[in-house]
Structure 1
Amino acid sequence: MVNLSQLWTTERIWQVPPGWRQGRGAWGGLVAGQVVTAATADLPDPRLAPRSLWIAMLGPVLAGEVLCEVRDLRRGRATLAREVTLTGPDDDLLTRAVVVFGVPRAGTAVADVAPGAPDPQPEPGAQRVELPTPPAPEFASQLVFSPVAGFPFSGARNLLATGWISLGEESTDTLTPAVIAALADAWWTVSITGIDGAALGPEGIPPVATLDFSLSFPCPPARPEPGAAVAAEPTSRELWQRGLWHIGRGIAGQQGYLTESRELWTPDGRLLALNSQVIAVGRAG
């Protein structure tokens, strides 16, 4: 069980916690959650909600103190764009991000479009698994994975990964934009499902790194009901008993750079996050 929201701050100094490593630095989802948390502090209009997020992951964010700075790039009547940067103790720029906010607008036929059903459909009977560390990254032991398709190092031809991701039944976190952004990055990249572990050479597993992360929030966490602004949300325990349905796909790639799309759905069919990542796979020639 984990409460991700307790790991983030709205202060200028972020104390990056240990135990969340992925490769050399912190898990990208932890960074994404901090970016959204920092950007949503002190909004000039309470109606502003995050609509999109873009992150360039320039260097590993190590455990310890990191400087987190926020500045407005553009403030309009209905939108706000904010930049968030994370800087290491040696003044190295580690992360540069932009979060775009918007107030609700009058409904239109082109903008108020419900997503289709998730494809593949959620499978409720998936079993939870323990991911050994290694080869799984350190942060994975903090979350609950129930995979359905697309297992690491299985040599799959179809780069598809599906399953349920949860914070654990005892977590009290709700579906805030920061939590949604973090969990969109929780699942392993589909690139490693296409690697045949039995055929690896003496160099072992090739390095994998996320270079670019963009995300939008298509649907609100709670479904509106007729005559009510927002439906009653499930309790945290009900939410995390099953978790959120993850779908990851490899779209296309060349020269060692794969574009991967990710979707994060509620069990009742709300598309919480649509995420695109550019993944570098392998060693430079």
Structure 2
Amino acid sequence: MTSFAQLLQQFDPDSPFIAPPNWLQGRTVFGGLSAALSLQAVLRECPTGYPPFKSAQVSFIGPVTQAQTFEASVLRQGRSVTSVAVDCMSGDDLALRTTLLFAQPRASKITHDSWGKPLVGGPSRYPTLALDRNVAPACAYNFEMRAAGGSLPVSGAESPELLMWVRHLDAQGVDPAVALIALADSLPPAAMTCFTEPAAISSASWMIDLPQPAVVGEWFLISSFSQQALEGYSLQDMEIWDEGGRRVLWARQTVAIFT
């Protein structure tokens, strides 16, 4: 089993990359890994002076079934904001297209935060979730998960919400933004809580924003809620907090549902 830290040590943006079996999600590579490697490819190649990673727009074009290559191009480099596009190729086919935004923090008199962290205990208050091998893909076993509320996947729930403390089993030495992107996609889509039996799903798009530059952490509380499921697609909101109660990521994802 190749850990996340080991995988990042082996990753070379200039060479074709083949994901280990424990990072697969069905017939494709775990989407959170492909997105994280897109960011890692830029961080490895970018000149010094890039601002901190701020946001990303990820389009999942097709499944990753062959060796991956990552092609990055700077769209614009301003005084405080830099935009970079990354195409992730699966063999000769485009699999993932990501636009990454790097932005320098700036002083402002306008500050507000209208979202509150869920009222749950810390990760030590909850037992480790035993993953169901009939439901969980191989990539899920790279994380430790502890349910703190909400519902569980394939439980026939009425409320499509997941609420879990999650941590990497090994992200030692990994850039905190890269680790956070991979961890943010660790949970199954929230709509899967409504399933009564396993069925296929596929992410179509993913929008990610970081309120402030990512910092190293261990446990993160992930809240994922499907706002609507209609005509075979679910639109879900995702938020992540660190152990200190600080929101570190907000995201929205469109997921195709094959049931």
Aligned pairs for 1:153-192 within 5 A: 153-168=154-169, 171-173=171-173, 176-192=176-192
**Displacement after TM superposition at 1:86 (Å):** 1.2
Specify whether residues 171 and 56 from structure 1 end up closer, same or farther in structure 2 by C-alpha distance, changes over 3 A only.
closer
- Aligned to 1:269, what secondary structure does the other structure show? coil
Query: Which residue of the partner structure matches residue 282 of structure 1?
Result: 258
Query: Which residue of the partner structure matches residue 139 of structure 2?
Result: 139
Larger Rg: 1
**Displacement after TM superposition at 1:175 (Å):** 6.1
TM-score by length of 1: 0.81
**Displacement after TM superposition at 1:44 (Å):** 4.0
Specify whether residues 109 and 42 from structure 1 end up closer, same or farther in structure 2 by C-alpha distance, changes over 3 A only.
same
Specify whether residues 14 and 246 from structure 1 end up closer, same or farther in structure 2 by C-alpha distance, changes over 3 A only.
farther
Deviations 1:93-123 (A, max 9, x none): 1111110111222x2133x434643125344
1:46 and 2:49 equivalent? yes
Query: Which residue of the partner structure matches residue 30 of structure 1?
Result: 33
1:74 and 2:50 equivalent? no
Specify whether residues 174 and 38 from structure 1 end up closer, same or farther in structure 2 by C-alpha distance, changes over 3 A only.
closer
1:244 and 2:205 equivalent? no
**Displacement after TM superposition at 1:39 (Å):** 2.0
**Displacement after TM superposition at 1:196 (Å):** 2.2
1:16 and 2:47 equivalent? no
Q: Identify which range, 71-80 or 8-17, moves more after superposition.
A: 8-17
**Displacement after TM superposition at 1:146 (Å):** 0.9
Query: Which residue of the partner structure matches residue 254 of structure 1?
Result: 230
**Displacement after TM superposition at 1:246 (Å):** 0.8
- Aligned to 1:251, what secondary structure does the other structure show? strand
Q: Is the 8 A contact 2:236 2:254 kept in 1?
A: yes
Aligned pairs for 1:87-102 within 5 A: 87-89=89-91, 91-102=92-103
Specify whether residues 39 and 171 from structure 1 end up closer, same or farther in structure 2 by C-alpha distance, changes over 3 A only.
closer
**Displacement after TM superposition at 1:189 (Å):** 1.1
1:273, 1:218 → 2: CA distance? 6
TM-score by length of 2: 0.89
Q: Identify which range, 40-49 or 262-271, moves more after superposition.
A: 40-49
Q: After TM superposition, which residue ranges in structure 1, 4 or more long, deviate above 6 angstroms?
A: none
Q: Which runs of 5+ in 2 are unaligned?
A: none
1:160, 1:175 → 2: CA distance? 29
Deviations 1:57-116 (A, max 9, x none): 111113x53121100112222211101111122x111111110111222x2133x43464
Q: Is the 8 A contact 1:126 1:163 kept in 2?
A: no
Q: Identify which range, 155-164 or 172-181, moves more after superposition.
A: 172-181
2:70, 2:204 → 1: CA distance? 20
Q: Is the 8 A contact 1:115 1:271 kept in 2?
A: no
- Aligned to 1:32, what secondary structure does the other structure show? helix
Q: How many residues align?
A: 254
> Which residue identity lines up with residue 268 of structure 1 in the other structure?
G
**Displacement after TM superposition at 1:174 (Å):** 5.5
- Aligned to 2:178, what secondary structure does the other structure show? helix
Q: Is the 8 A contact 2:70 2:86 kept in 1?
A: yes
Which of residues 191, 210, 216 is equivalent to 2:203? 210
**Displacement after TM superposition at 1:28 (Å):** 1.0
Query: Which residue of the partner structure matches residue 225 of structure 1?
Result: none
**Displacement after TM superposition at 1:245 (Å):** 0.7
Identical pairs, percent:
22
**Displacement after TM superposition at 1:3 (Å):** 4.6
1:252, 1:185 → 2: CA distance? 19
